Structure 1
């Protein structure tokens, strides 16, 4: 079971999970050096837009090494609040896995994601 699927079993507002592939990755980042090796979009009923991105609820990004995940997190945090393309997000990092939760879900919902993420059994 993937991390996103584990989250889906723990967070009742998650409606579906879509695996990111080379064919549907709008950024073309999957598998590129320093980028995520796998990812999944998470749709949540609390998100306003049913998009296949963090805007639709959340996204799990898995990197080859922890340093790549930390670099991605640093880059995201630099851009938060820099305009409409970067809405507020909640970020949770665990090893080489980054969970990004839409700020539209609010702190209480984000806390549910965090709790579920921390319970996924990642080392």
Structure 2
């Protein structure tokens, strides 16, 4: 039981490290025009991440659901027309953040976006 409590605490710490931003509207998005963006559908069931350029910067999103599960979705083929997508079947997406990995070495994530209605 203590392993489960430790896991849940660790997952919450990962998505709350940065100061949260709150988004409202028909859907949610965050990004950087230089590298890429992430979008969450209005029903909070689908997430899309797009890498704008085929370069040495990779773009991905980390997100959590109402069941406290943490997931990562990537755009594996940066710069093409297809983006990385994922869906939630149980619960909804509650928080997400866009992350960038530069030259396969350093990592930067923007502030978390908490989804509230």
- Report the TM range for the smaller structure's normalisation: 0.3 to 0.5
TM-score by length of 1: 0.32
Larger radius of gyration: 2
Q: Which has the higher contact order (CA 8 A, sep 6+)?
A: 2
